[in-house]
Amino acid sequence: MKNEVRYPEYRDDPAGFVENVLGAAGKPYSKQREMLNAVAGSRRVSVVGANGCGKGWALARLILWWVETRARAKVVVLSSTQRQVREVLWQELAAVVDAAGDALSGKLTKGRYFISPDRFAIGFATNNPDNIHGFHSPELLLIVDEAHAVRESHFDAALRLNPVKTLLTGNAFST
């Protein structure tokens, strides 16, 4: 059954989900574990780190943790470019889904991880903030990847989705 939650015991334990369910897809290092646990424990989280430090690794696993541990879970991933979604984050997600095999309930396509109409993750970039609407769920996780490059109007539109949790990731810049 598509709305049956296979891993309710990990609802508040993303690191445990990553290690025990997605174990074949790698183990988090300390900062990734900190990021995973911060999302579980806080409504709003911001993560700043250099390119290549493992934010995308953790994001892919957080997406799967959220959708696989909740009955009506949706994840909306917004980024500044479609390239970031498809060629960076969704490629990492594809590697995790492939390594996890039958441990996961959903199917991965370009820009979407789908279990059912009430349980999915979608990633996209848009030039028009009016395109960021229509995603309603009592268990909505909003991820803004490369947040430093996303326009304020897009943030405003995304926050009007009323997510229960929001995660922003980006790079540090010196001025």
Give the residue with greater pLDDT, 9 vs 128.
9
- Residue-wise pLDDT for 4-62, tens only, equals 899 999 999 999 999 999 987 778 888 889 999 999 999 999 887 656 556 889 999 99
Share of the chain above pLDDT 90, in %: 61
Q: How would residue 147 be classed by pLDDT, with cut points 50, 70 and 90? A: confident
**89-127 burial by CB neighbour count: b if 16+ within 10 A, else e?**
bbebbeebbeebeebbbbebeebebbbeeebbbbbebee
**Closest of 23, 105, 110, 116 to residue 64, by C-alpha:** 105
Q: What is the pLDDT of residue 2?
A: 61
Q: What is the pLDDT of residue 84?
A: 80
Please name each of the domains of the chain with its CATH number: 11-170 (3.40.50.300)
Q: 175 pLDDT exceeds 50? A: no
Pair of tokens at residue 92:
């990492």
Look up the pTM and report it.
0.92
Cα 125 to Cα 154: distance, rounded to the nearest angstrom: 10
